[in-house]
Structure 1
Amino acid sequence: MAKPQFTAMYVFGDSLSDPGNNLYFHITATKSNYFPYGIDFPDGPTGRFCNGKLLVDFLAELVGLPILPAYENPSTNGKNILFGGHRFPLSEQIQNFKNTLNQLRNQMEEDEISKYLANALVLMAIGSNDYINNYLMPQIFKSSHLYSPGDFADLLIKQYAGYILEVHNLGLRKFYLVGIPPYGCTPFQLTTGHAPPGQCISSSNNIVEMFQLAT
């Protein structure tokens, strides 16, 4: 493992960056604790919606930090919170981080916390579910009927900017904002039958691109 380049890494995001919080939610039917999830992960299925490691896992290893635990994992307490963790809706994730910050105050002096937070890495993987599980599902959600693609992108950016500033005001300084992929090329979109053979749904990609350009 490389020498740590940051004191910790805190991840705010959706299911694409979830290392297992879904395992501890009793009210959700969406879990990933069975194969083929985790088929390429050393410990098998861990609650990651992936066959193996997530982007945040690779990034943690790259910067010399342990693979991050799930915020809801009972072992994420005491000194284990020093390296970071994952958090639900973005507003609640920030509240969970505030709870973590209160725990840190029991372990560090205020000046230590300031230096620790200033040298921690914040990864924000946001926007994916707003499109793939909302705007691009007009048969279920009304958002695409209420907002034009440009207006929806602007709405998201304004909300996220507020959240980023709130996290910054808590003392975190180093941010890595993850973009979102061309969702018109995802298997879920391709199964709608709206894509030409062997091609992506360009209209969906164009909608998502507006968010990318706005960021």
Structure 2
Amino acid sequence: MPIIRSSVSLFLALFLVFRNLSLTLADDRCYSHFFAFGDSIADTGNWLHYAVPPGPVARLPYGETFFKHPTGRFSDGRLIIDFICEALDIPYLTPYLVGNTSKDFQFGANFAVGGATALNQDYFKNRGLQVMFTPYSLGTQIRWFEKLLKLLGSSDSERKAIASTSLFLMGEIGGNDYNQPFLQNRPIEEIRTYVPDVIDVIGASANDLINLGAKMIVVPGNFPIGCVPEFRTIFQTNNSSEYDQYGCLKWMNEFAEYHNTALKTKLRQLTESNPGVTLIYADYYSVTFNFTKNPMTYGFENVRDACCGAGGPYNVNPMIDCGLHGSHTCPDPAKYISWDGSHMTEQAYKYIAHDILEGPYTNTSILAQCMFRLYDFEK
């Protein structure tokens, strides 16, 4: 188990007491709704609903740990978004493509789709890239939200009230914008030129939400992609200078940090331009890299391999995905960081959510903001 500072534990205990008291007295939650955008890191069923065929994610062992059946989540169980729902006393979000009526979305909606990019497909086609992923880019997801908001609220004032009392999670998004050129062997110098455009789209999308009334938006950064088993398999080399002391590809992690630095700059600009709006940067990079640096602190025994795979370096075989004939699953996914070579286990997502909620890896604690909102409700 991770070492939790006593002050953090005390804060969490006070938060839970305060939340339970508030729910008893006023039946209020911190947020009226929770809306999420992104890709497979947050997708809880949209991919499964639209993709034909849906692929291995539609069959076991996906979903085996918690749900005991496939749900469309790209993991063995719950995702970061699910743990946030649990912490904030919100039911698991209905995937947008699954719901039909306003009742389906009474607590919010999940617009994330596996394979989603920030930029639209024309951007990649214009650069001579083969489009490998879903057409449901971040811009499409924002339009879905606008459509749903009109279903939930009958007037502009009602819709702004919903948005202003909701929590928004935007991402992780942007990773697939880089995965496409990475997997098509484009030079890193070219891929770096995509970063300003990706950041601009994320910033513009956050601004769209603000214009619709949003007051609380969490925007995660990219992961240490140089530690991902799939990329370590594809870009493996005998040149030891390309690896850090943990066996991660330095140049890929440096690229992720380049994206994250640009994203933080954009969020600071948006914060300065929008007083009264809280924009939280969630540092997925640091909390995840901490797993690799200090695995035993979290109970991880294997930081190198995918739990579910078909052998080869890092238990990743690019020709045989997890869930296909020839793949196998480790006995205890909770001992692994990586689930299928490109996505994480439920246990890893649990710890990311834990550290993001409490604040060590955000510029402000989501739970603290929650407590402040409950206090305002009670007044």
Q: TM-score, normalised by structure 1?
A: 0.86
Match in the other structure for 1:207: 255
Evaluate the alpha carbon distance shift between residue 180 and residue 146 of structure 1 in structure 2; reply closer, same or farther with a 3 A threshold.
Answer: closer
Query: Partner residue of 2:197?
Result: 155
Output aligned runs, 1:1-215, within 5 Å.
3=23, 4-27=29-52, 29-30=54-55, 32-73=57-98, 75-87=99-111, 88-106=136-154, 110-125=156-171, 126-131=173-178, 133-139=179-185, 142=186, 144=187, 147=190, 149=192, 151-192=193-234, 193-194=236-237, 196=240, 199-215=247-263
Instruction: Give ranges in structure 2 of 5+ residues lacking alignment.
Output: 1-15, 24-28, 112-135, 264-379
**Conservation of the 8 A alpha-carbon contact between 1:7 and 1:83:** yes
Question: Structure 1: how far apart are the matches of 2:71 and 2:88?
Answer: 22
Query: How big is the shift at 1:26?
Result: 4.0
2-structure distance, mates of 1:43, 1:103? 33
2:53 and 2:199 mapped to 1: Cα distance? 28
- State the alpha-carbon separation in 2 of the partners of residues 174 and 35 from structure 1: 36
CA distance in 2, matches of 1:146, 1:185: 20
1:33-56 deviation line (CA, Å, top 9, x unaligned): 211210112352100001110000
Once the two structures are TM-superposed, the CA of residue 204 in structure 1 deviates from its matched residue by 0.8
Change (3 A) 1:110 1:163: closer
C-alpha root-mean-square deviation of aligned residues, in Å?
A: 2.3
Of residues 182-191 and 24-33 in structure 1, the stretch that sits farther from structure 2 once superposed is 24-33
CA contact (8 A) 2:38 2:138 kept: yes
Deviation at 1:137, TM superposition (A): 1.8
Report how many aligned residue pairs link the two structures: 207
1:214 is displaced (CA, Å) by 0.9
The aligned counterpart of 2:129 is none
Distance 1:76 1:86 in 2: 13
How far apart are 1:115 and its partner, in Å? Answer: 2.1
Q: Flag the structure with more relative contact order, 1 or 2, with Cα contacts below 8 A and sequence separation at least 6.
A: 1
Q: Is the 8 A contact 2:96 2:110 kept in 1?
A: yes
Q: 1:168 to 1:79 in 2, by over 3 A?
A: same
User: What is the identity, as a one-letter code, of the residue corresponding to 1:187?
Assistant: P
Q: CA deviation at 1:31?
A: 5.1
Quote how far apart the aligned CAs of 1:113 are.
3.0
Any conservation in 1 of the 2:224–2:253 contact (CA below 8 Å)? yes
Taking the aligned partners of 2:237 and 2:139, their CA distance within structure 1 comes to 35
Structure 1 residues 76 and 62: CA distance shift in structure 2, 3 A: farther
Contact 1:194–1:201 (8 Å) recurs in 2: no
Unaligned segments of structure 1, at least 5 residues: none
